[in-house]
Every structure is written in C-alpha cells, then in structure tokens.
Amino acid sequence: MERTTANEDFALGPMIGLRSLMGTIRRRRRVWLTTAFVGLIVGASLHLVIPHKYTAVTDLYLAQTAGSDPAQAMAANVSLLQTEAVAKQAVISGRLHMSPSAVLSHYTGVAVSDDLMSIKFSGPTEAQAVSGASAVAQGFLAVQARELGLQTDVVVRGLQSQISSVNAAISTLNTSVDNLSIATPNEQTTNKLAELVNQRSADQLQVSQLQTQVEQARLNEQSADHVSHVLDPAALVPVSTKKVFLMDGLSGLVVGLAVGLAAVILGALLSERAPDRSAIAATLGAPVELSLGGYRSPRLLRRTRLSRRLKEPSPILQMIERRLRGHLEAAPGSALVVVEVGTPDQTALAVGALALALSSEGHRVVVVDAAANRPLASILGINSKPEVMETFQGPAAGGPPVSVLVAPEDPLQMAQKPPPDDADALLILASLDAAFGAEHLAPWVTDAVMILSSRRTTIPHMNVSREMLHEAGISLRSVILLDSDPEDESSGVLSSGDLRLTPAVAEEPSG
C-alpha cells in the first residue's frame, strides 16, 4: 500500500518551491536584466519620442456670495471649471486653435482654499501653456459671472413679482380708503378705515423690504463679479530637464524589471517543471548514472553536421558511449537496447559512435535502428523505409563494417525475424510507443538503457515506458539524463525502498 501511494505522488509531478523559483529567476537573469535595460533606454528616450509638455499655473481669487457655505461654493466652482461651457468660453477668450473637448483634456483645477483655486494647463510649447492657462481663467470668470447673473435675475424677478402683487393690493386698499373717507362717518366706518390704513402701511413696508432685497441681490452680484479676479497671472512651472530624464529613466527601469520578473515567474509557475533525478530513478526503477546539460540538434545542414559529430564525438558523447559500452559488455550475449525518450539525435549519435568504436577494435557489430523516424539511418544516409527488415552496410572504422538493420514500420515483423547469431555485439536503438508496446524487442535483448530528456518527458510517460519494458521482460539497467536542471540537488541513486522487480532473465550464480 505504501509503495502504491509513493507511485501516485510521483505521478502528480513535483511541486515548485521558493528555492526552485529563486533558482529559475537566477538562471534566467538575462531575461529580466534585458527587459530592465530596455525599459531604462525607452524611459530615458521617451521625451525624445513624445513631445515634452509644458505646464503653466494661474491662481484665482473667488469671492463668495453672502449666506453661502464657502466649502460647498468652492466645490461648485471646481465642478463648473470642468464643464464644456468654460472650455468654449476659453476658446473664445484666448482665441485658441483647439476644440472645447481638446481644451478640457489639457487643464485641471484644484481648490487651494475656500477662496483660492489653482488652474494648471499643459501645452506642447511654453506660449501655448501660458495662453491656455490665461484663457481658461478668463473663460471661467466670464462663465461664473454669467451664471451668477442668471441666478440673481431669477431672484430679482421673483422679488419684483412679489412687489407687483403687493403694489396691486396697495392700490386696492387706496381705493377702499378713499371710498370710506367720503362716506358718512360712524363707529363702524371709522374702525374699518383704520384697519385698511394699517394694512396698507404693512404692505408698503413689505414693498420696501422686497426692494431692499432686490438691491442687496444686485449688490451681491456686483460684489462677487468685481472682487473675483486673477490673483496670480499664468506662469510656467519650472522643470529640470535632468530630473525629467532621470525620473523617466528610473520609471522605465522599474517597469522593465517588473515585466521581466513577471514573465520569468509566470513562466515557471505555469510551465510543467522537469522532474528531478530522484523522481526519475524512483519512477523508472533504475539509477540515473549520468546527468548532462541541454543538447541542441542542428537545423541547417542537419545530416552533414550530425554525420561529422558521429565521426568526431564530443567529450559529452564520449561519456555516454563509455557507459553504454559498460552495459553492453555486461549484458547477456552482448546485446543491449538503448531506448530514447525525447532524445533521438543524441541517442542515435551515442549508439553509432559506440558501434564505430567497437568496429575499429575488430568486433563484428550489428545495429538495429527501430527508433521513431529512424534517426541513425538518416545520419548514415540511409533513406529507405523498408516493409521488411533490411540490412545495410554501414561505415567501417579500420575493422569490419557495421551492419545496420533498419526496422520496418510494423514492429511485429521485427519480432518474427531472429536476431543475428554471428555478431560480437548487438545494439538496438528504439523508441517506445504505447500503441505497439515493447514485445518486439524481447526476442532480441534482455537488458536496456534509457537516454531521456527531463524536459521532454513526464512522470506518466516514464511510468508507461517502465510498464512496457516490464511486460516485455526487459530489465532497465540504467538511465542517462539529458537537459537536467543545474539546480537539481537530488540523487539518482536508488534506495532499497525504490527497487523494482522486473522480469529479467535470472543471472546465473557465480561458481
């Protein structure tokens, strides 16, 4: 039960941790350093690409009408400043060659106090910034005066309407008083006359008060109109060119660095992390005896360059060759299958280099290319796709020529052909496909070595590969890892708890 649980944990894949994430950031420092440098250059050069804007500021002193709340009145003034009516008046007042909507996008207003409002106008030139700020200030004062006049007119019209009504009542009272004055005097007439006179006096007093309110409203309008003025004329805001250059450069640097780090971190979090050595060894049940870095297959002149690499093996290829030789010599009948998982070119080169080395020592070597797309045959210039197993004479390296057998597309035909009995060494280059299994390899070999790329395979894929070899009765003796993580600190050595039983042919006891 514990064994099954461990396998399920490996199938889930390794989780990325903080240490691994920091290692990814450190390894891919070229990415975020490049984006930071590009951001610095772009930010510092931004003022050369985008025309620099000049800003002019003007301050207005705004008188408040009697009885109004200063804070609310100033908030209303700031809102009025941002209206299209003010922008249209600014265009007219300053004769600006801009539309009202464009003017609105160039200025802002802020309440400095209950009586002071500051206007900032940005323009492409110094003259346009100053003239724009002055035009907006004049336009605002004109619109404010007009709106205040309209409000006063409404109030005055209301008061005058009341005055007219009261005057009409006074005229009626005058007629009644005159009629009672010529009537025969008696107590009732006298009392009625006194009542009418008193009412007329009250109405006359009310008319006087309403006229006073009209005069006060006009006075408030004139006072606010005449007192509100430009306190500080429009003037440019001093700007240091070096400061602008420095601030833009630093801003670009920060943005570029943030973009680069975000790209690296998101790439690490969203991409599937390559399994480490311990996970690979535990999954395949075989030790990882060699871990190497990345390998790039050539794109231009591919066959020519691969053929040159085969004849002149690199130190890395020689390291792989020596380990394959050791397993070949220890395998029964000197027969070994080398399984490639995501490494067709590198595995083909390693098998071919070992075959040429053995041939140069006088051994009769047979190589079977059963890998996908037949990479070794392609390197050797064998372009045939036989329907049955065909034998080709490979290159000779001072000894017997290497016999190259190209497997057909159907693996069953390879399984039905008996392996050669006159070879000193038999090497099979193979790929494992779940659609065919590995039974076609069983008549030929009992031991296998796997060369896989940690970044081109997954834990489930490795599980399937192990099961196919298990069902075919082939023992996986070792794993050679390519594209390994340089930050991987795990061990590829199998512990006693990770040993797996494979139905390999039992070794004869010594003695």
Domain of 435: which CATH number? 3.40.50.300
So what's the pLDDT on residue 54?
84
Co-location of 494 and 374 in the same domain = yes
Question: What mean pLDDT is reported for the chain?
Answer: 84
* Mean pLDDT to the nearest integer, 215-225: 75
334 within some domain: yes
What are residue 276's DSSP bridge partners?
none
45 in a structural domain? no
Same structural domain, 336 and 400: yes
Asked if 411 and 311 sit in the same domain, the reply is: yes
What Cα–Cα distance (Å) separates residue 75 from each residue in 95, 220, 318, 395? 28, 20, 82, 92
109-138 residue pLDDT tens: 999 998 899 999 998 888 889 999 999 999
Of 204 and 182, which is predicted with more confidence?
204
Pair type for strands 54-61 and 116-123: antiparallel
Residue among 249, 247, 243 at smallest CA distance from 43: 249
Percentage of the chain surpassing pLDDT 70?
Answer: 89
Q: What is the pLDDT of residue 467?
A: 94
Same domain, 195 and 296: no
Rounded CA separation 122/132 (Å):
8
**What Rg value do the Cα atoms of the chain yield, rounded?**
48
DSSP secondary structure of 170-209: HHHHHHHHHHHHHSPP-HHHHHHHHHHHHHHHHHHHHHHH
The per-residue pLDDT for 20 is: 64
Q: Which of 241, 267, 298 is the last residue of a domain?
A: 241
Q: Is residue 27 part of a domain?
A: no
Residue 8 covered by a domain = no
DSSP 5-57: HHHHHHHH-PPP-HHHHHHHHHHTHHHHHHHHHHHHHHHHTHHHHSPPPEEEE
3-class secondary structure per residue, 440-479: HHCCCCCEEEEEEECCCCCHHHHHHHHHHHHHHCCEEEEE
| Shared-domain flag, residues 295 and 432 | yes
Cα dihedral 347, 352, 357, 359, rounded to 10, equals 150
Percent above pLDDT 90 for the chain: 35
Contacts 24+ apart (CB under 8 A), 300-303: 303/378, 303/379, 303/381
The answer to whether residue 271 sits within a structural domain is no
Q: How high is the pLDDT of residue 271?
A: 63
Least confident of 45-59, 241-255, 308-322, 493-507: 493-507
Instruction: Report whether pLDDT(10) > 80.
Output: no
Both tokens of 261, joined, read 């780090």
Query: Is the entire prediction scored with pTM above 0.85?
Result: no
Pairing of strands 425-430, 475-482: unpaired
How many independent structural domains does the chain possess? 2
Residue found under tokens 């659609």: 435
pLDDT at 498: 53
Same domain? For 171 and 306 the reply is no
Of the residues 187, 222, 241, which one is the last residue of a structural domain? Answer: 241
What pLDDT was estimated at residue 324?
96
Interatomic CA distance for residues 64 and 67, integer angstroms: 9
pLDDT tops 80 at residue 368: yes
Please give the structure tokens belonging to residue 86.
Answer: 């003010």
Q: Are residues 438 and 341 in the same domain?
A: yes
User: What's the distance, Cα to Cα, between the start and end of the chain in Å?
Assistant: 38
Confidence at 57, pLDDT banded by 50, 70, 90 = very high
Which of 370, 129, 112, 128 is CA-nearest to residue 120?
129
Kindly indicate the confidence band of residue 303, based on its pLDDT and cuts at 50, 70 and 90.
Answer: confident
Given pLDDT bands bounded at 50, 70 and 90, which one contains residue 509? very low
Residues 207 and 283 in one domain: no
For residue 198, pLDDT beyond 60: yes
The predicted structure's pLDDT at residue 428: 96
Q: What is the model's pLDDT at position 486?
A: 75
Scanning the structure block, which residue is given the tokens 């620099």?
52
Q: Are residues 162 and 222 in the same domain?
A: yes
For residue 428, give the nearest of 313, 309, 328, 285 by alpha carbon: 328
The answer to whether position 414 is within a domain reads: yes
Beta strand 335-341 with 425-430 is: parallel
Instruction: Give pLDDT, residue 1.
Output: 35
Average pLDDT of the segment spanning 199-204: 86
Tokens matching residue 342 = 């995501």
| Rounded CA separation 42/256 (Å) | 9
Pair (379, 479) in one structural domain: yes
Residues 113 and 232 in one domain: yes
Q: Which residue has the higher pLDDT, 106 or 183?
A: 106
Q: Is residue 77, in this structure, part of any structural domain at all?
A: yes
The Cα 474–Cα 468 span in angstroms is 9
Q: Judge whether residue 2 has pLDDT over 70.
A: no
Structural domain boundaries, residue 211: 54-241
Q: What is the pLDDT of residues 387-424, one digit of tens each?
A: 788 889 888 777 889 999 999 988 888 988 888 888 99
- Are 445 and 300 members of one domain? yes
pLDDT of residue 3: 40
Q: How confident is the model at residue 83 (pLDDT cuts 50, 70, 90)?
A: very high
Question: Would you place residue 183 in the very low, low, confident or very high pLDDT band (cuts 50, 70, 90)?
Answer: low
CATH number at 200 reads 3.30.1890
What pLDDT does 356 receive? 93
pLDDT of residue 158: 86
For residue range 425-482, what is the model confidence (pLDDT) as tens digits?
Answer: 999 999 999 989 999 999 999 999 999 998 888 888 999 999 999 999 999 999 999 9
Q: Which is more confidently placed, 464 or 23?
A: 464
**Full DSSP string of 292-337:** --------TTHHHHHHHHHHS--HHHHHHHHHHHHHHHHSGGGEEE
CA 398 to chain centroid: 58
Closest CA to 106 of 79, 144, 85, 133: 133
Question: Residue 9: what pLDDT?
Answer: 43
Query: 425: part of which helix (H) or strand (E)?
Result: strand 425-430
The values of phi and psi at residue 9, to 5°, are -60, -40
294 pLDDT above the threshold of 80 = no
* Contact by Cβ (8 Å): 404, 344: no
Residue 256 located in a structural domain: no
Domain boundary among 188, 220, 241: 241
Torsion angle, CA of 372/376/380/386, rounded to 10 degrees?
-40
pLDDT in tens, 323-361: 999 999 999 999 999 999 989 999 999 999 999 999 999
